[in-house]
Chain A
């Protein structure tokens, strides 16, 4: 913002700085940290700097620069922390996967992950370039709902992989459509709740201390939610099911402020979880494993995956074993995807793990901050929803691999191996960039003579 002249005395508090320079310097820092990590792994494992370190650094720097330029010109008021954090987490994940590749020469995952990350950044650029205003999305609420349902239903037609029917396979690549569906569901929830929140909160029947809305308003949303959760239980993807439910509850609470619903929701959820844990063997095994991770050791069958994960975290201690010097490959299957955090915990220690958690927390907090700054309910709910997806996903998977909650197969956002997850998370960041740009953009100057700005007309159904 240029300083306004004395003649048109605009209120100074509207003039939020753009902070693009901050973003650029943080991006440079993120790229440097990642390249340093890459060099560190090479030195620790083979004693030499990887021959492609400069090429790799230049490529990453180019991607960062490109995304920075697009943000600078197309979303100049966007939150300066979002992009560097995403870049740092993604780069760190690549380093960890590359490090694990060195220990498993048979199956290399880093090159594919690099391609997916590039694709993710590409989609990020496309979204920031094409989507000029997040409010446009409100029009596509029902379309996105339908798309989400289709995306979740499609994998049922494909053969299960590792017991879960959540993948589509084509041309050697596999994709988890549910990852994309969560954005679409958040979009639908935001649009629908923004339009109907007053009806949800204040109309309807009062039973004891609970204000129940009329079925006409609540019906569609509960139906969608039940359907999505039902599909997920059928597909045996408990993690995503938990995520959707949490997302639904958080958004409903933010929209209506009715704590009674939260209580009912939690009650329903725990009843459902208990039933699933009892009758579904796949989930039952996860719960017993969580209750005693060392049962297989006591039975003489060797450590379970969760026990191996806990061993890895414990081996890290406070300061970690050092990048490239841990033995988290002992986890075996899924060490690069669901259990990627164990490698971070072992090699970077509690200090490194705390830093990673704080990076995620910062990302979520900036999403919430953008939601708070916005005026329109749709934008608010969308920002809260997208940020909550990240928060819940991090909690579910990080809590799972550290033994806090039963383990559910999910990808650590940005870090874990898995194309669909990385691409989806970049889209989330792109949307948050767009929303925060609107949130921090100064309001148009008030024309003299106009007493009040007309209330912006929101969305569709009222």
Chain B
């Protein structure tokens, strides 16, 4: 009997070993796959178990967190949600995250390994870091000025510090309250349905994701190409351009809104915005030269990130000469984001050295020690310094005597360029009024700000005057805020 008892005991031992081996299988070897199973709620529970880190503008947080008491405990809240929505994006328990909420999610949610001093020790203790902070480059006064300037009209504003690439304002209008998407449930789903089906597209971040034909504002790029390529050597010399100009290989004539454009110099053409001169210069530079020039400003770049992805600004790579002529005055298939046009203005203001634009200045832990810092770096040299100086002078003249006089600011040097782009097939859509500009306080070493404003407005009149009329005052308000903000 004793032998049989021993065998029965051995059988029990086999059962024990089977249990232990199986437990090790589930808890160690298959643990990762099970932990990351989409049906496993633990990831979401852990993610929302602590308040999400703050997104900071200036010294103040523009976000908050609310204890919902639900299983997914903390929900995102926003102070001035519509104002900062193009910067922060939303952080929803149902629909994911966008923009800075998305780009800095690891730091904000506390999962980033950068937050821990001893990563291994953290794995053992399973300690979770409280959410870190993302400090943006936005200046609150400029953001406010741009938002109020647009006043709910469809449009966008992007402002950059030319010397560094810091994005100082990023506004899209009409905007929305991202906080309504934070939680879960029927109310959130309803808000999502309402926002996504709204014909005004409030969730479209027009400043970096909206692409518009830049119209005459693009003439700065064409002028830079012509000067760099040597198509124009003296900005004050006559350019031998007929008025009206017949597009190459066609019988279509290109008119001017302005007068006195026949044989006008480049300086005059920029000043009053002559279509004919710039179209002919584009053709003279040629497709290859134009493509090279626009690429240096950031056109056709699909990988531009601030750190959220920026929509590609387009300049067609295969065109007939007549299409090239139209493209060179910012029509045909040429499109640009407001940020792209701010970069054009910034490149001119910074002597041709275009800095890479960025929105997140640094990330810190919840206690404020720095996790990472964005260092300003050159995006590309957009043009020769000499070309930049000439363009600066031309843009200054636009504000002093040309189409952009409404942007003039006493006590500061302001350069600008207006633009109006036709919209829709047969130009039935409302035109886009553009204004790109930069400002440098008298006595300052370098320009404080470069701005691009686009306003889509049915009341705008065709012609360059509307760019100066609708968009320039907004740009002026933003520049004034930037100049006042300087210490």
Partner-B contacts on A (CB < 8 A): 250, 253-255, 257, 294, 297, 302-303, 307, 310-311, 313-319, 321-322, 325, 327, 330, 345, 349-350, 353-354, 357, 361, 364-365, 368, 371-372, 377, 380, 384, 387-388, 391-392, 394-395, 398-399, 402-404
Expressed in whole angstroms, the Cα–Cα distance for A53 and B34 within the complex equals 36
Question: Known: A254-B5, A354-B20, A380-B5. Is A403-B15 also a contact (CB below 8 A)?
Answer: no
Contact of A314 among B12, B26, B38, B126 (CB under 8 A): B26
- Least CB distance from A211 to B in Å reads 15
Contacts of B34 in A (CB 8 A): 310-311, 313-315
- B22 adjacent to A402 (CB under 8 Å): yes
- A314 adjacent to B9 (CB under 8 Å): no
B375 adjacent to chain A (CB < 8 Å): no
- B1 adjacent to A404 (CB under 8 Å): no
Contacts of A365 in B (CB 8 A): 9, 12
- Least CB distance from A105 to B in Å reads 12
4 A-B pairs closest in CB distance: A314-B34, A314-B31, A404-B22, A350-B27
Q: Spot the interface stretch: B40-48, B202-210, B338-346.
A: B40-48
Question: Known: A254-B4, A257-B3, A372-B5. Is A395-B26 also a contact (CB below 8 A)?
Answer: no
Question: Known: A257-B4, A402-B22, A402-B23. Is A250-B11 also a contact (CB below 8 A)?
Answer: yes
- A357 adjacent to B16 (CB under 8 Å): yes
- A388 adjacent to B27 (CB under 8 Å): no
Question: Known: A321-B126, A322-B126, A327-B42. Is A314-B30 also a contact (CB below 8 A)?
Answer: yes
- B1 adjacent to A377 (CB under 8 Å): yes
Interface centre among B5, B28, B34 (most CB of A within 10 A): B5
Contacts of B1 in A (CB 8 A): 254-255, 257, 377, 380
- Least CB distance from A338 to B in Å reads 16
- A399 adjacent to B22 (CB under 8 Å): yes
Expressed in whole angstroms, the Cα–Cα distance for A353 and B35 within the complex equals 18
- B45 adjacent to A317 (CB under 8 Å): no
B18 adjacent to chain A (CB < 8 Å): yes
Contacts of A402 in B (CB 8 A): 19, 22-23, 26
Expressed in whole angstroms, the Cα–Cα distance for A322 and B125 within the complex equals 9
Contacts of B45 in A (CB 8 A): 327
Contacts of A255 in B (CB 8 A): 1, 4
- Main secondary structure, interface of B, reads helix
- B15 adjacent to A391 (CB under 8 Å): yes
Contacts of B2 in A (CB 8 A): 372
- A395 adjacent to B126 (CB under 8 Å): no
CB-defined A-B contacts under 8 Å, sample of 7: A253-B4, A313-B26, A313-B34, A318-B28, A345-B23, A350-B24, A368-B9
| Shortest Cβ distance from B15 into A: residue | A395
Contact of A317 among B11, B18, B20, B28 (CB under 8 A): B28
B37 adjacent to chain A (CB < 8 Å): yes
- A364 adjacent to B12 (CB under 8 Å): yes
Contacts of B18 in A (CB 8 A): 395, 399, 404
| Shortest Cβ distance from B13 into A: residue | A361
Q: A353-B23, A368-B5, A402-B22 are in contact. List 10 more A-B contacts (CB 8 A).
A: A254-B8, A294-B39, A314-B35, A315-B34, A327-B41, A330-B42, A372-B6, A392-B15, A399-B18, A399-B19
Contact of B5 among A321, A327, A384, A404 (CB under 8 A): A384
- B39 adjacent to A350 (CB under 8 Å): no
Contacts of A303 in B (CB 8 A): 37, 39-40
Interface centre among B15, B22, B124 (most CB of A within 10 A): B15
Expressed in whole angstroms, the Cα–Cα distance for A129 and B175 within the complex equals 80
Question: Known: A349-B27, A395-B19, A404-B22. Is A297-B37 also a contact (CB below 8 A)?
Answer: yes
